A and B are shown apart, each in its own frame.
Chain A
């Protein structure tokens, strides 16, 4: 497992952020997590513009976890932008949403998400999910280099 791995989480729900941060810590990958609170911020982070110019502080992520419903830009809009912008096109994306609406799932995959996961309700499930993300996406899975 590569030592320097970064995960960018985009969510506007403070609670969900807190729960996920907690689960990341529990899985001992808390330090890998960077968080933004809206869709526009994701794009700015990835472009390294504005507040996100410092790549030391805001390193390019190896995995993007996107909430579906966010202010300024929705998760799907961000995904759409991403898939049309080199070199971020190849960035692995997990959609993490409380929506189980089929058209949302359909749309997300059409726009090129790598996974679609409904937000777990309880801590036990959440912890399990984060453990799996760590094992698979940050472990076994090889990711393309993004410069």
Chain B
């Protein structure tokens, strides 16, 4: 494996460029397909850094003009949040 293939793309899950290229070889054509095969984007930061790198790698294999087809899968919460802050209501507390 060449030096470039060992470049770490997803730090949270320690996924390398080589592993992402292999997922594409296996048929992944979306960010979600790469995620399911490699675990990339599934860690603490939920792909905040690596999903752009993954889209970049994918762009050599698929048409990225229709970005909705890439299943990038950004979900709430945008940043990690404590449950009690999410459910707290002014005047009502946590109930």
The answer to whether A and B assemble together is no
Binding site for A on B (CB under 8 A): none
Binding site for B on A (CB under 8 A): none
